[in-house]
């Protein structure tokens, strides 16, 4: 059983309740974490407030060194942490190693450098404009990328000179504990980083509403993000939200169709589809639609579903029974509304574990539930279009705007269409994800940006001194 990390010490929760951590591949309980209470949030916020003056005045070079040391330890322990993530949230081990662990180490290293290099002063006429840390940050993170999403908040906050109270997801919390151990080991001062595990309606809401918290950074569902923003608004806190998505993969008629479909299917199914930026809507010209469906089905059949520790596995289990049941309901709804199931479905591929087959729907029309709502599972919808304007209209006809893709024969043509998409990030002809570029959404996909310099700016206040 775990404890909380508050004020530089591992300590028991004020609550005597615990939450079971379940291996989604075996359905077995592997650990327990405290179901924290508002009293725990009070203690953690107080510790963060007391630590703030000293940490905010610590030299940027020293803050950067501590973050750099933490990044090195994270790399050294990457295999152990990857195995932890594969066990408590079900990501295939290779993916857990490369994306779930080593990518956060890269992000942490980037903020070790930005802590010192990011400019904090400028002159505008007779004014000196300075950037200062906002204060105590409440970071509330999800289960799908349980270390990466933490590092995307904690690293820039610490680099900026803020102190942090973290609530990781209670569904997959163990990577957060590994990071807490690393931060303690490198010598982060007491109270600069605090960890309170627990449920969102208890711990998360107490953090969002706490008077000692100056900013809330939340990643999760759009519905939960609205609740966090409403609570934070009572004390006019700054809020950063990274929420849901229903991203479009627009394939223009002159694109390499086989490549676009292959990469599009891979992006949709990555992390068992439990990715907010996944390209879950493939938008294909009607003249190429049947061939695109055939290619998508062929690609989907190449995705082995199974044990995260089996090297042949490409799709692990969904994170929980609740998540599996949610995805199954959407697959059923798609068929009820007239979409054509061409791959996968609701049959369980294994007797134990929260598995769902990689699923592809054809004959999907704009407005269908599976075309509108975020499913958060390995479910792809193919939608036909007849003109470029219609393709853009379909892509933009959503309350979300987090990511997307455009494929064309030339980069210039793809960029021209990408500029018309109301979304925060667009891959051009399969351009790879850049962990140093800003990430965030338009519309109900969120507020603010993570990663890179823009991610650091979220944690800074601006002061002008007239000289």
Catalytic residues: 242, 276
How far is 384 from 382, CA to CA, in rounded Å? 7
Query: E strands of 201-308, at which residues?
Result: 215-219, 238-242, 248-251, 281-285
356 within 8 A of 320, measured Cβ to Cβ: no
CA 180 to chain centre: 19
Nearest to 404 by CA among 415, 388, 390: 415
What is the length of the chain? Answer: 467
Distance, in Å, from the CA atom of 230 to the CA atom of 235, rounded to the nearest integer, reads: 10
Q: Which two tokens stand for residue 351?
A: 């007797």
Q: Are 87 and 101 in contact (CB under 8 A)?
A: no
Q: How far apart, in whole angstroms, are the C-alpha atoms of residue 155 and residue 149?
A: 10
Contacts of 351 (CB under 8 A, 6+ apart): none
Whole-angstrom distance, CA of residue 383 vs CA of residue 401? 18
Q: What is the CA radius of gyration of the chain?
A: 22
Q: 439: which strand partners?
A: 450
- Alpha-carbon distance of 447 to 155, in angstroms, equals 19
CB neighbourhood size of 27 (10 A): 13
Distance CA 448, CA 467 (A): 31
Q: Is 405 helix (H, G, I), strand (E, B) or coil?
A: strand
Residue 218 CB-density burial (10 A; 0-12 exposed, 13-18 middle, 19+ buried): buried
Contacts of 322 (CB under 8 A, 6+ apart): none
Q: What is the token pair recorded at 108? A: 């942490």
Helix (H, G, I), strand (E, B) or coil at 278: coil
How far, in Å, CA of 442 to CA of 445, rounded?
Answer: 6
Torsion of CA 87, 89, 91, 94, to 10 degrees: -40
């Amino acid at each position: 059983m775990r404890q909380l990390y508050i004020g530089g010490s591992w300590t028991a929760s004020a609550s005597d309740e615990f939450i079971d951590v379940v291996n989604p591949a075996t359905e077995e309980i592997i650990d327990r974490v405290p179901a924290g209470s508002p009293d725990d949030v009070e203690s953690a916020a107080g510790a963060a407030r007391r630590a703030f003056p000293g940490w905010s005045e610590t030299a940027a070079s020293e803050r950067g060194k501590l973050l750099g040391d933490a990044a090195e330890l994270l790399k050294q322990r990457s295999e152990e942490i990857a195995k932890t993530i594969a066990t408590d949230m079900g990501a295939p081990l290779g993916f857990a190693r490369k994306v779930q662990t080593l990518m956060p180490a890269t992000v942490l290293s980037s903020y070790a450098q930005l802590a010192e290099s990011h400019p904090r002063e400028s002159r505008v006429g007779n004014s000196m404009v300075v950037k200062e840390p906002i204060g105590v940050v409440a970071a509330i993170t999800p289960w799908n990328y349980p270390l990466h999403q933490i590092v995307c908040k904690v690293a820039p906050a610490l680099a900026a000179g803020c102190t942090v109270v973290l609530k990781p997801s209670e569904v997959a919390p163990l990577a957060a504990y590994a990071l807490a151990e690393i931060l303690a080991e490198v010598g982060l001062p007491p109270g600069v980083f605090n960890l309170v595990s627990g449920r969102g309606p208890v711990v998360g809401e107490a953090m969002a509403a706490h008077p000692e918290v100056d900013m809330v950074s939340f990643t999760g569902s759009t519905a939960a993000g609205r609740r966090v923003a409403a609570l934070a608004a009572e004390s006019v806190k700054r809020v950063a939200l990274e929420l849901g998505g229903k991203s479009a993969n627009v394939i223009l008629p002159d694109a390499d169709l086989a490549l676009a479909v292959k990469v599009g299917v891979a992006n949709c199914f990555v992390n068992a589809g439990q990715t907010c930026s996944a390209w879950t809507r493939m938008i294909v010209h009607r003249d190429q639609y049947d061939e695109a469906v055939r290619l998508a089905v062929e690609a989907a059949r190449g995705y082995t579903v199974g044990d995260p520790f089996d090297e042949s596995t490409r799709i692990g289990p969904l994170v929980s029974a609740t998540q599996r049941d949610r995805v199954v309901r959407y697959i059923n709804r798609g068929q009820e509304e007239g979409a054509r199931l061409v791959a996968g479905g609701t049959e369980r591929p294994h007797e134990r574990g929260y598995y769902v087959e990689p699923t592809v729907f054809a004959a999907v029309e704009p407005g269908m539930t599976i075309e509108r709502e975020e499913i958060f599972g390995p479910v792809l919808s193919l939608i036909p279009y007849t003109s470029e304007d219609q393709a853009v209209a379909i892509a933009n006809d959503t309350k979300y705007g987090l990511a997307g893709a455009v494929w064309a024969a030339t980069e210039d043509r793809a960029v021209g269409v990408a500029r018309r998409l109301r979304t925060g990030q667009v891959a051009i002809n399969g351009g790879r994800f850049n962990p140093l570029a800003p990430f965030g959404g338009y519309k109900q996909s969120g507020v603010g940006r993570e990663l890179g310099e823009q991610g650091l700016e979220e944690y800074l206040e601006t002061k002008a001194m007239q000289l």
